[in-house]
Amino acid sequence: MTITDEDLAVEAATAGAAVVRAGYGAPLERFAKEGNDFATAADLEAEQAILAVIRAARPDDAFVGEEFGSVGSSERTWLVDPLCGTLNFAARTPLVAVNVALRTPSGITAAAVADPFAGELYWVTGGGAGLRRDGAVLPLAPSAVSGLVDVDLPAADAARFVVPRLLTDRAFLARFDPRVISSTLALVWVASGRRAAYVFDGDVVDNVHFAAGIAVCRAAGCIVTDLHGGPVGDRPGLLVAADEATHATLLPLLAEALAVA
């Protein structure tokens, strides 16, 4: 039987998560990348495991991975971040995500995000988005009740500092409680109702870190825009909100931060 793209994304993310989980807590060699970034053996091995699963089922598809780059050329391209949160992982902090998404000419058509340590798998289904946990399949229900907003802090050499300015805004702090987990796991937390919103100031189009999480959030019914409230990709930045009210509250606060960025 031919596996569907949706199930293949789940199978690939699950394979990557197993590698990440197995390597947790082991002595780590750091492989230097650009700037202060680095990879570990778990990053490399998880990406290889994901590629093997995809290659076995879709040998003609292309593949873009965080660690090994592009493989092949096709209108169907798998975007993979095998371990989002490498610094957390290296510091023995189990807040990481395994991201797998399929990009076709019509957009992202399959996506899965695995949390290796919570044993959770978020994925896009034909009728929306779901969560697999402890053998059960649960619907995703975004909610702003927590008031928690996860943010991604910029590097020291960033061109602008929108998020730090947002974090010093008294109006923002009066309404929301900011958090930083340094992993796109926070994206699917918005989809599942654990976070009210997520804010990132950077490029996200065709980004292996974000493609799967954005797809899950959209399928779950979250509001997904750039920091100005426009379509993602028109300008840098990403705002994912659990509902329209939260999105509408955050936009003017972001506008103030952007005005002085």
Question: Under CATH, what is the fold of the domain 5-139?
Answer: Fructose-1,6-Bisphosphatase; Chain A, domain 1 (3.30.540)
Q: Which helix (H) or strand (E) holds 150?
A: strand 148-151
Short-list 89, 81, 77, 82, CA closest to 207: 81
Cβ contacts of 125 within 8 Å, gap of 6 or more: 6, 219
Distance CA 187, CA 192 (A): 9
What's the pLDDT band for 261 if we cut at 50, 70, 90?
low
Buried b (16+ CB within 10 A) or exposed e, 177-210: ebeebbbbbbbbbbbbbbbbbbbbbbebeebbbb
Residue 66 marked in a binding site: yes
Residues 6 or more apart whose CB falls under 8 angstroms from that of 80 comprise: 12, 16, 47, 50, 51, 63, 64, 65, 66, 99, 100, 101, 208
83 labelled binding-site residue: yes
Q: What is the DSSP letter of 239?
A: E
What integer best gives the mean pLDDT of the chain? 93
CB 9 within 8 A of CB 104: no
CA distance 111 to 5: 9
Strands 62-65 and 69-71: antiparallel
**Digit-coded pLDDT (tens) for 141-173:** 999 999 999 998 876 656 678 888 999 999 999
pTM as predicted: 0.94
Between 259 and 103, the more confident residue is 103
CATH 3.30.540.10 maps onto the chain at 5-139
* Cβ(254)–Cβ(166) below 8 Å: yes
79 marked among binding-site residues: no
> For residues 84 and 187, what is the distance between their CA atoms, to the nearest angstrom?
12
Please state which CATH number belongs to domain 148-259: 3.40.190.80
Q: What is the residue-wise DSSP string for 86-125?
A: HHHHHTT----EEEEEEEETTEEEEEEEEETTTTEEEEEE
The confidence band for 37, taking pLDDT boundaries of 50, 70 and 90, is confident
Q: What is the pLDDT of residues 233-257, one digit of tens each?
A: 889 899 999 999 999 999 999 999 9
